Structure formats: structure tokens, C-alpha cells
Structure 1
Amino acid sequence: MNFFDVACQEPTLTHVEFGLCDDQNSTIAYTDMTDKSKWIATVKNDGALPITFTAIDKCVIKDNEHVGRGRCDGMLTTTASLFLVELKDASSHWQTGAIEQLESTIDFLKANHNIDTFKHKKVFACNKRRAGFAVIDNAENKAFFQKTGFRMDIQAEIIVVK
């Protein structure tokens, strides 16, 4: 399982803003620069850093692989950052499932790669219907970080830092 497989990566972007989309129709997640109505998450890249989007669900991990184990929709990487992203379009009871999918993806990722070179490691649970920031209990966030080594945000805005 190769999370850095170029066959699952889109060309590197340096746009200061773009969206992450999942049409929820059994196709892979993807980036978009023009149709904000399709965006589930907005990526803010004010430094215009080179950033790569990798489709995890249905590409790095195919539907028939590891059946019953969750995986997130995609991954954003720069030279310093690794962000795992779960994209939802649900009105209720979505956060727990999204976090479980992200945690499972972290386990897959760590089992197959050394990710110590990334300074910033974060997971994002994003929901088109709940675009605002959701407050995460500090104890829950701390426990997630201690368990996974990743910070967690439940919001539809992903800010890329140097």
C-alpha cells in the first residue's frame, strides 16, 4: 500500500485557494479550482506552496481491499505537512464515523511509511452541510494526538502552513 503512489496523485498545485470535492458516487475525491458549489473543503494556501493531493479511498486503497476498515478520502502533502482529509455530505451523526475513518487511515499510513519527516501532521473531518468550525473537546483532541501523533480539526477550511 503506497500512499505516495503517483498514479493516485494529481499534479502539484500552487493555487492560493482551491476546493476538495467528493461527488459521493463511487468515484475518487479530487481538487477543483472553479466550481465552489462542489467544494466540501476549502484549502487556503496563502504561501502558494507546492501541494499534492492524493486520492486515498478508491485509489491507494481500493474498495475490495480491507473491507470493513475505514479509510479517508484524500491526503494533502507539502514538504513539511501531511494532512489527511475525510469529506462528508451528511446532516447528522457524521463526526464519529469521520474520525474513525481518519484514525484507521493513520494506522494504514504508519504501517507502510515513515512519516517522521513531516513537521505538521493533521486530520480534517469536513462536511459540506456543516461548513463551520466545530469545537473539539481539548481532552479528546489531546487523546487523539497522543494516540496518533496527528492534530485534529473538524472544519471545512484547511490552512496550509510553512
Structure 2
Amino acid sequence: MSTNFSELSCQTYSSAKLFGICDDPPPASIPAYIDEKNGAKWIAVVVNDDKFEVTFTAIDNCIVIKRADGKLAKRCDGVLTYDSTIIFVELKQRGALGNEWVKDAEKQLKVTIGYFEFEDEAENYEQKKAYIANSERPKFKVSQLKRMEQFFNETGYVLRIENRIILY
């Protein structure tokens, strides 16, 4: 079954030099979105010095992705696209108690990327990235380099665990 990762009703846009990606806390069930004005709400900060025309497509709470058993698949919050670059994003607002939130986010990204890679649209992108962004900026006791390397080997996507996304 094909999934439309370019659903217009799920998209917000920006070409600002600096903007954020927001995901309102539960129980809100609205999709994540771009915001250019209220920095206090930003979970991920996007630095867009070249002023690319960026599309953010909300996936969680907007695009339906079903597993083989008909149930909804775990999905990441959304995806940024511009030129030939695609960046899947999972947003978290959690403190630094362990790294379970990283494992959870990584699973959501892998599942979503797995479905996306079955679509013809996946061939349109040369740069493929994924970000786990946490507004709390937690500190890790150990490096996440091994996790990021394994993610790349499994998906072909470069993983970053930080809340600052620099576009180039």
C-alpha cells in the first residue's frame, strides 16, 4: 500500500533564516508545524542561512501509515525537504533521565524511513538525514557515535541527536 508523504494538508513552509519546528504537548493531537515567531515553543531550531524554500510535512497525527495488520505504525513527527535534501525529524521534550527517549525516537524514525524508502519519491533525494531533537538539551554519559553509525548502516540516513538543524 502506497503512502503519500507529500500530503498538502500536512505541510507548512518557510524560507526564513531561522525558524522552529513545534509539536504542542499532549493531549493536543494537532500535527507538528513550522513556526517563525514564538521561539519559546520551538523544539528544533532550523538554521537556514541560504534561505532555502523549505517544506515541513507533518507525519504523526497527519499521514496515515498502517502496518500489515491494519494498525497504525509508529511514526516520526515529520520531514523537512528542500532541493535534493530530506530530513526526517522526531521531536522530544524530555529531561536527561537515561536515553530511553533516544531509543524510542530512533525506532519511530526507522519505521517511517522504512515506509518512505518503498515509495518512488525516495529516489528524488541525494542527501538523506534524520534528527532526534530534544528541547531539553540533555547530556549523555556516553557518546552516541556508535548509535549514529549503526543507524546509517541500517537506513542509509545520517542521524544526528541535537535540536539545531543547519541547512546547507
TM-score, normalising length: structure 1: 0.88
**Aligned equivalent of 2:144:** 136
**Aligned equivalent of 1:82:** 86
- How far the C-alpha of 1:141 sits from its partner, in A, is 2.1
- How far the C-alpha of 1:68 sits from its partner, in A, is 5.9
| Counterpart residue type for residue 22 of structure 2 | C
* Unaligned runs of at least 5 residues, structure 1: none
Structure 2 SS opposite 1:111: coil
Mapping for residues 13-24 of structure 1, pairs under 5 Å: 13-24=14-25
**Aligned equivalent of 2:106:** 99
1:94/1:118 CA distance change after superposition, 3 Å? same
Structure 2 SS opposite 1:96: helix
**Aligned-residue CA RMSD (Å):** 2.0
Distance in structure 1 (CA, Å) of the matches to 2:52 and 2:121: 22
Structure 1 range deviating more: 71-80 or 122-131: 122-131
* Unaligned runs of at least 5 residues, structure 2: none
- 1:132·1:155 contact (CA, 8 Å) conserved in 2? no
Moved over 3 A (4+): 65-68, 131-135
- 1:131·1:156 contact (CA, 8 Å) conserved in 2? no
- 1:30·1:53 contact (CA, 8 Å) conserved in 2? yes
Distance in structure 2 (CA, Å) of the matches to 1:132 and 1:42: 18
Distance in structure 1 (CA, Å) of the matches to 2:154 and 2:89: 18
1:135/1:17 CA distance change after superposition, 3 Å? farther
Mapping for residues 9-158 of structure 1, pairs under 5 Å: 9-10=11-12, 12-24=13-25, 25-61=28-64, 65-66=66-67, 67=71, 69-91=73-95, 92=97, 93-130=100-137, 135-137=143-145, 139-158=146-165
Distance in structure 2 (CA, Å) of the matches to 1:135 and 1:42: 22
**Aligned equivalent of 1:6:** 8
Distance in structure 2 (CA, Å) of the matches to 1:72 and 1:113: 20
Distance in structure 2 (CA, Å) of the matches to 1:94 and 1:3: 25
- 1:98·1:125 contact (CA, 8 Å) conserved in 2? yes
TM-score, normalising length: structure 2: 0.85
Identity %: 35
Distance in structure 2 (CA, Å) of the matches to 1:131 and 1:76: 23
Aligned length: 157
